[in-house]
Amino acid sequence: QKEVEQDPGPLSVPEGAIVSLNCTYSNSAFQYFMWYRQYSRKGPELLMYTYSSGNKEDGRFTAQVDKSSKYISLFIRDSQPSDSATYLCAMSRNAGKSTFGDGTTLTVKP
């Protein structure tokens, strides 16, 4: 079993929809939780970073971490065609190595 499981998708939504992207994990020692966005043929870019449980909001993006359920989510409000990309969750126990999910590919249709 993988340490990090990500909803595989692909996901296709109309412009303006609310998108929910999710990951589950098995290692209760994870403390740092990240979401990356990767456009086709580009390197991933850091979107959100959260330490421990709770919510974090940045514009149209909200990251949620529920450590009791070992479940993290990324919500995108008012989705735009420019949000079309692959989203990777990542997590780590301490400063250093991260474990990544396999990614969910999102398409936002105009």
Partner 1 sequence: SQTIHQWPATLVQPVGSPLSLECTVEGTSNPNLYWYRQAAGRGLQLLFYSVGIGQISSEVPQNLSASRPQDRQFILSSKKLLLSDSGFYLCAWRAGESEQYFGPGTRLTVT
Residues that bind partner 1 (CB under 8 A): 6, 32, 34, 36, 41-46, 49, 51, 88, 90, 92, 94-98, 100-103
> Strand pairing of 71-76 and 19-25?
antiparallel
As measured in angstroms, the least distance from the Cβ of 16 to partner 1 is 27
As measured in angstroms, the least distance from the Cβ of 38 to partner 1 is 9
* Calpha distance 80→89 (Å, rounded): 20
Going by C-alpha positions, the residue among 61, 99, 88, 93 that lies closest to residue 7 is 88
State which amino acid sits at residue 55: N
Of 79 and 104, nearer to partner 1 (C-beta) is 104
As measured in angstroms, the least distance from the Cβ of 80 to partner 1 is 23
